[in-house]
């Protein structure tokens, strides 16, 4: 491929990204791959088990919203399927997936479990954003990793995506992003910032569908069992 052809290809990609930003606002709220875990000591635990205190410099290929409701108390080390879950582009129009073992409502909006105060001061249904990320400068064979943005960090992520939209007129894949722990918080709160143009955009743009396949993968609910009701 000649240099002039490559430049033209990147220009076309940038134009397509600019058009896609028009629909980006609907995917955020105002103001099955390799997973990265957030540890209690505020480290990013990578899929190979190593820990990184951050900041992590990444490219966000794509993201989705997730809602998951678990109908039993959480226990450390106890992995149980969600009773009800939803995956979507727009958090305002999400509905429980038809494969949910015990659908709690016909729509997430208006569901009692998705209201603040349904579990202490928070929600009984866990809201999150799920990100598909790769390392900047990585080639098409590099592993795509998944990172879940917890409920307490959704506003920070959505605000960052809005900044990318307004300042760069692009989707998150169009920039490199720093992800780091909020030093002012004792819990695992994430912050996003320091965007700069993604020099590997030509490669990463071609991996968006691969990222979508991982982001939209449904959780395995085959082992779900209804909670045992206590006898009076």
* Residue 159, pLDDT above cutoff 50: yes
**Using one digit for the tens of pLDDT, what is the confidence trace for 163-183?**
999 999 999 999 999 999 999
Read off the pLDDT band of 78 (50, 70, 90).
low
Closest C-alpha to 203, from 136, 147, 145: 136
- 113-134 in b/e form (b: 16+ CB < 10 A) is bbeeeeeeeebbbbbbbbbbbb
* Residue 50, pLDDT above cutoff 60: yes
The two tokens of residue 135 are: 């390392």
Closest C-alpha to 62, from 156, 154, 174, 162: 174
Distance between CA atoms of 40 and 76, rounded to whole angstroms? 12
- List 181's β-bridge partners, or say none: 190
CB-CB contact of 53 with 43 (8 Å):
yes
Q: Work out the average pLDDT over 196-215.
A: 95
CA dihedral 158, 164, 169, 171 (to 10 degrees): -70
Residue 168: its H or E element: helix 154-168
Least confident of 77-81, 101-105, 186-190: 77-81
**Using one digit for the tens of pLDDT, what is the confidence trace for 106-150?**
999 999 988 988 887 788 899 999 999 999 999 999 999 999 999
- 87-103 in b/e form (b: 16+ CB < 10 A) is bbbebeebbbbeebbeb
Whether residue 55 has a cis bond before it, omega within 30° of 0: yes
pLDDT value, residue 18: 80
């Amino acid at each position: 491929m000649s240099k002039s052809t490559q430049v033209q290809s990147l220009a076309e990609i940038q134009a397509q990204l600019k058009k896609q930003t028009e629909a980006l606002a609907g995917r955020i709220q105002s103001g099955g791959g390799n997973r990265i875990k957030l540890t209690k000591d505020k480290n990013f635990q990578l899929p190979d088990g190593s820990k990184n205190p951050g900041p992590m410099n990444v490219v966000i290929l794509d993201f989705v919203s997730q809602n998951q409701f678990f109908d039993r108390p959480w226990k450390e080390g106890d992995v149980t399927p969600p009773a009800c879950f939803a995956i979507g582009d727009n958090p305002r129009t999400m509905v429980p997936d038809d494969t949910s073992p015990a659908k709690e409502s016909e729509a997430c909006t208006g569901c009692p479990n998705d209201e603040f105060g349904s579990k202490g001061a928070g929600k009984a249904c866990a809201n999150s954003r799920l990100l598909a990320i790769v390392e900047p400068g990585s080639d098409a064979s590099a592993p795509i990793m998944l990172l879940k943005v917890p409920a307490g960090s959704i506003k920070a992520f959505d605000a960052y995506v809005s900044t990318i939209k307004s300042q760069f007129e692009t989707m998150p894949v169009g920039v490199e992003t720093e992800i780091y722990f909020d030093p002012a918080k004792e819990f695992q709160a994430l912050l996003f910032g320091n965007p700069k143009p993604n020099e590997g955009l030509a490669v990463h743009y071609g991996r968006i569908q691969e990222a979508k396949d991982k982001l939209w993968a449904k959780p395995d609910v085959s082992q779900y069992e209804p909670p045992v009701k206590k006898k009076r």
